């Protein structure tokens, strides 16, 4: 069986070779997009606290906002977040799967990082026709003085990050003739140079590349019955940069510059179109996980990837491997850490899928399984920050030997009732030795600096 790269156990000469041939990673204080500066769920800053005090991390500010699943982005002294405000006299349906027209508007807010002052707001009418209608899903992307946002019904915006002025906009439903997916447009856009990649849907346009300066279409590619919700990612395999698009019917690699398809790996259709968690790479290996279908590990070292292992059970309860709902797993030193379908935080051997341990301690207060139980996972040095659906921020070590909780603090109250219980399902941002997190009522900044 092929063994995945375990960096801590590399021979010295190989480690030196990797150091000399791998682009250097400089410390980045900002969190300008989904999963951070390198889109990998790794927070590189140092000087971070070792544990929480009894009162928790000091909150620097709290600012009221509306509903939404979209996490914040932090760049150049500003915090960007999107939300939704219902029209007066309107309420979301008691059944979150009802898809009638719900009047309201989406907003893009820009806050000053140091004190939370709202610097500008861009708002637009946006009636909802989707399930779980609390608000937008995707984290803003900040690049080259612009902020790009994608709303739940397919409104794509390019705004001036300083002033909030609209530079351009696209409407997926009007421009491409597609319908809003059941859970809205939820795949976090990706900026690469002067190109913005989005999942759109429709014949030949599962993925569309836009010019970041004008919003003009550069190219479109792929056809699937539905696009799914998985963020586009660019990884390098065998020296070649590949745009990875995972839709409910296949995993695909494309040339980011032209949209040419390098390879396609067909799948047993993913139930309910739930291709959601971000694909993870380790060397020549690509890992994917979904709620019903479970896990899939591919080896990508040629023009046609090879299957390493996959889950045999297409089930949300009788699971093997890792059946994540929407949290992106961490893959480090040949091991996988992620939350499964009923909140089980699990560790797997990445080369075989063998489960080493699981615990409910990170996701539930009573230790009992709960459907869609979740915690978002971000690595900082040799530790992990886990932000769970109860609004708790947990500092822990995750190793092949087990889950070792160091400390936890309650940041936000769970406010979203859609899954039948109040939850916080928004990925936080980590920047400038602080955490930025939101629920459906407020966004906050709390210090995680050592000695403060």
Mean per-residue pLDDT, 186-200: 98
User: 5 Cβ partners below 8 Å, 6+ apart?
Assistant: 282, 283, 334
Give the CA diameter of the chain.
68
CA distances from 36 to 205, 326, 372 (A): 27, 17, 24
Tokens standing for residue 390: 């109860």
pLDDT beyond 80 at 9: no
pLDDT at 381: 95
pLDDT at 8: 39
Phi, then psi, of 174 in degrees rounded to 5: -80, -45
* Average pLDDT taken over every residue of the chain: 92
SS3 170: strand
Mean per-residue pLDDT, 339-368: 94
User: For the segment 369-424, what is each residue's pLDDT rounded down to a tens digit?
Assistant: 999 999 999 999 999 999 999 999 999 999 999 999 999 999 999 999 999 999 99
User: For the segment 295-332, what is each residue's pLDDT rounded down to a tens digit?
Assistant: 999 999 888 899 999 998 888 888 988 999 999 999 99
User: For the segment 262-279, what is each residue's pLDDT rounded down to a tens digit?
Assistant: 999 999 999 999 999 999
Q: Strand 442-447 vs strand 59-64: parallel, antiparallel, or unpaired?
A: antiparallel
User: 388 Cβ partners below 8 Å, 6+ apart?
Assistant: 362, 363, 374, 375, 376, 394, 424
User: For the segment 233-266, what is each residue's pLDDT rounded down to a tens digit?
Assistant: 999 999 999 999 999 999 999 999 999 999 999 9
Place of tokens 């861009």: 122
pLDDT at 299: 97
Q: Are 406 and 50 in contact (CB under 8 A)?
A: yes
Q: pLDDT band for position 2 (50/70/90)?
A: very low
Q: What is the DSSP letter of 131?
A: S
Q: How many C-beta atoms lie closer than 10 Å to residue 11's C-beta?
A: 8
What's the start-to-end Cα distance of the chain, in Å? 48
pLDDT at 414: 97
Q: pLDDT band for position 452 (50/70/90)?
A: low
User: 146 Cβ partners below 8 Å, 6+ apart?
Assistant: 158, 159, 160, 161, 167, 212
Tokens standing for residue 438: 């939101």
């Amino acid at each position: 069986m092929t063994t995945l790269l375990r960096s801590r156990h590399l021979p010295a000469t190989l480690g030196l070779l990797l150091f000399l041939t791998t682009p250097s990673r400089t410390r980045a204080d900002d969190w300008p997009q989904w999963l951070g500066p390198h889109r990998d769920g790794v927070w590189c800053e140092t000087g971070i606290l070792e544990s929480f005090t009894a009162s928790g991390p000091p909150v620097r500010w709290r600012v009221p906002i509306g509903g939404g699943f979209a996490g914040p982005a932090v760049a150049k002294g500003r915090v960007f977040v999107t939300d939704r405000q219902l029209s007066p006299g309107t309420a979301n349906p008691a059944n979150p799967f009802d898809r009638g027209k719900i009047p309201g508007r989406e907003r893009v807010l820009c806050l000053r990082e140091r004190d939370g002052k709202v610097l500008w707001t861009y708002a637009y009418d946006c009636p909802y026709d989707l399930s779980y209608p609390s608000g937008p899903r995707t984290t803003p992307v900040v690049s080259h003085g612009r902020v790009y946002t994608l709303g739940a019904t397919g409104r794509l915006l390019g705004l001036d990050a300083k002033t909030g002025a609209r530079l351009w906009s696209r409407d997926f439903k009007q421009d491409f003739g597609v319908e809003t997916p059941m859970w809205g447009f939820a795949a976090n856009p990706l900026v690469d140079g002067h190109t913005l990649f989005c999942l759109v849907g429709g014949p030949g346009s599962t993925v569309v590349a836009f010019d970041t300066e004008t919003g003009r279409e550069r190219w479109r590619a792929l056809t699937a019955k539905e696009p799914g919700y998985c963020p586009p990612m660019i990884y390098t395999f065998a020296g070649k940069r590949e745009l990875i698009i995972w839709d409910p019917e296949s995993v695909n690699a494309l040339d980011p510059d032209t949209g040419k398809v390098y390879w396609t790996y067909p799948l047993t259709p993913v139930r309910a179109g739930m291709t959601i968690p971000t694909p993870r790479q380790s060397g020549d290996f690509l890992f994917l996980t979904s709620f019903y279908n479970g896990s899939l590990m591919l080896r990508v070292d040629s023009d046609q990837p090879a299957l390493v292992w996959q889950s045999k059970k297409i089930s949300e309860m009788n699971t093997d491997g890792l059946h994540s709902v929407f949290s992106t797993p961490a893959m480090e030193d040949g091991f996988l850490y992620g939350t499964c379908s009923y909140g089980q935080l699990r560790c797997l051997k990445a080369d075989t899928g063998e489960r080493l341990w699981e615990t409910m301690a990170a996701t539930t207060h009573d230790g009992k399984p709960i459907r869609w139980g979740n915690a978002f996972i971000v690595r900082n040095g040799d530790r992990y920050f886990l932000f769970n659906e109860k609004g708790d921020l947990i500092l822990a070590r995750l190793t092949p030997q087990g889950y070792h909780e160091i400390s936890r603090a309650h940041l936000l109250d769970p406010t979203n009732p859609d899954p039948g219980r109040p939850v916080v399902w928004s990925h936080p941002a980590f920047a400038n030795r602080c955490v930025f997190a939101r629920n459906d009522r407020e966004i906050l900044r709390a210090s995680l600096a050592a000695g403060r």
